[in-house]
Amino acid sequence: MARRGTPSVALVTQTFWPQGDFVSAADGMPSLPRVQLPHPVAGSGVEAMTRVANDVADEIIAYLRGDA
């Protein structure tokens, strides 16, 4: 989507952040916006997922609007 000009943000857990650096650079998009999530997110339950979403929502929206 980002290659087609659609505003995009990658959501990457802190454990995989270094791999995100590698993949984005290898794919020719080192400046693709990324937001760091705590690890693990999967299987953490609805309450934890809601907290994470609330914590990062403003940052994601800012990137998508081009304000970040």
**Residue 68 vs residues 1, 3, 7, 30, 41: alpha-carbon distances, Å:** 19, 19, 12, 16, 24
pTM: 0.85
Q: Which pLDDT belongs to residue 43?
A: 87
pLDDT computed for residue 66 by the predictor: 92
What is the longest distance spanned by two Cα atoms in the chain?
Answer: 36
Instruction: Write the pLDDT tens digit of every residue in 22-56.
Output: 999 999 999 999 999 999 988 889 999 999 999 99
pLDDT at 12: 96
Q: Where are the domains positioned within the chain? A: 6-65
